[in-house]
């Protein structure tokens, strides 16, 4: 029972490099999310997708793009990484009554 799977788990990037975080869920959920978590800041929503084919900005979308490839997959792309994007990234999905299930997280360091 995989739930929400995200890759890679750890990544070090140089400033200006690009990368894509991959996320897939096997719970047939309509909604998917990308959050970032920084010390003392809690979880902040970057982008979300309420259903296949739709995406919307969250609280901190600048510097990121997303793609809802199909119902299962929701990717997050950093086009030109900056040190301020050093963070832990969590993909999540939900369906009934807002219960959100998280992936295991991706630790990203931008040097």
Partner 1 sequence: QKEVEQNSGPLSVPEGAIASLNCTYSDRGSQSFFWYRQYSGKSPELIMSIYSNGDKEDGRFTAQLNKASQYVSLLIRDSQPSDSATYLCAVNPSGSARQLTFGSGTQLTVLP
Can you give the binding site for partner 1, defined by CB under 8 A? Answer: 31, 33, 35, 40-45, 48, 50, 58, 90, 94, 97-105
Compute the least distance from the CB of residue 84 to partner 1, in Å. 18
Nearest-angstrom CA–CA distance, 17 and 40: 27
Compute the least distance from the CB of residue 45 to partner 1, in Å. 6
Q: Which is nearer to partner 1, 17 or 31 (CB)?
A: 31
Per-residue three-class SS string for 41-97: CEEEEEEEECCCCCCEECCCCCCEEEEECCCCEEEEEECCCCHHHCEEEEEEEECHH
Compute the least distance from the CB of residue 33 to partner 1, in Å. 8
């Amino acid at each position: 029972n995989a739930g929400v799977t995200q890759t890679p788990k750890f990544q070090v990037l140089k400033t200006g490099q690009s990368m894509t975080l991959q996320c897939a869920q096997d719970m047939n959920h309509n909604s998917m999310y990308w959050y970032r978590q920084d010390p003392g800041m809690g979880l902040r929503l970057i982008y979300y997708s309420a259903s296949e084919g739709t995406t919307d900005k969250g609280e901190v979308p600048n510097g990121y793009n997303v793609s809802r490839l199909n119902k299962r997959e929701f990717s997050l792309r950093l086009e030109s990484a900056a040190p301020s994007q050093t963070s832990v990234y969590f993909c999540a999905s939900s369906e009934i009554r807002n219960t959100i299930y998280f992936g295991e997280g991706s630790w990203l360091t931008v040097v």
